[in-house]
Structure 1
Amino acid sequence: MELYVIRRPSAWADMRELELAGATSARIGDEQMPDCVRWIRSYVVHEADGRIGTFCIYEAKDAESIREHARRVGMPGEEFYKVATTVVVRIDPAESPVAAE
C-alpha cells in the first residue's frame, strides 16, 4: 500500500459531525476494505467559513480505493496526494487523541 494525504475542506459543521463520520470511516475501512485502505491519522482544522476540515493520512492500495472508501462513508475524497517522502523535524506534540470509534 502507498501513503496518501487526503484533504477534506469544510466537510463538517462541527466536531460532533466529524466524530460520527470518523466512526463510520474507521468501521468501513476496518470491516469492509481492510486490504484496500487504512486510516493512520487526521489533522483537524478550523476552516475560514467556520466549518471543520481535515487533512487525513491514509495507506491505500490505489487512488480508486480512496475514492470508494470516501463514497461508502459519504464524505469528500477527491482531493488527495500520494506522499513522495516524509520529513520529520520533530514528532507531533503529545495531546489527548480523539478516538475514531
Structure 2
Amino acid sequence: MPKYVIERDIPDAGKLSPEALKAISQKSCGVLSAMGPQIQWLHSYVTADKVYCVYIAPDAEAIREHAAQGGFPAERVSEVASMIDPVTAE
C-alpha cells in the first residue's frame, strides 16, 4: 500500500501543549477508526508552524477524506516514491 507525507500548516504548532497534541491525536485516531483499516497513521513531526504526517493509505483521496472529516488542514499530500537512509550510502 502506498505511503504518503502530509504537510499541514498549523501556526504555532511547535507551541502546542502536550494536552493539545493529545486531543489532536485522539481526534485523528477516532476518524481513522471510523474510516477502517485501509488508512493508517504511522507518525508525525511537529515543527514551528507545520506538522508533517506519515500515513499508509490506498490513495491520496483517502488522506484528504481523513483531513476533511477531522477538520485538519492538508496543504500538500505527497506519495513517497522511495526512502533512503545512511545505509543507502553503503
Is residue 35–residue 61 contact of structure 1 (8 Å, CA) maintained in 2? no
Number of residue equivalences: 84
User: How far apart, CA to CA, are the structure 2 residues paired with 1:39 and 1:76?
Assistant: 15
Please list, as runs of the form range in 1=range in 2, the aligned pairs for 1:54-69 lying within 5 A after superposition.
Answer: 54-69=51-66
**Bigger share in strand:** 1
- Once the 2 structures are TM-superposed, how far is the Cα of residue 41 of structure 1 from its aligned partner? 0.6
User: How far apart, CA to CA, are the structure 1 residues paired with 2:6 and 2:81?
Assistant: 14
> Percent of aligned positions with the same letter in both sequences?
33
- Once the 2 structures are TM-superposed, how far is the Cα of residue 32 of structure 1 from its aligned partner? 1.1
**How does the TM-score come out when normalised to structure 1?**
0.72
Equivalent residue for 2:76?
A: 79
User: How far apart, CA to CA, are the structure 1 residues paired with 2:20 and 2:71?
Assistant: 12
Is residue 67–residue 78 contact of structure 1 (8 Å, CA) maintained in 2? no
Gaps of at least 5 residues in structure 1 are: 48-52, 91-101
Equivalent residue for 1:2?
A: 2
1:44 equivalent among 46, 49, 73: 46
**Bigger share in helix:** 2
SS at match of 2:86: coil
Deviations 1:31-63 (A, max 9, x none): 21223310001011112xxxxx21100001111
**How does the TM-score come out when normalised to structure 2?**
0.80
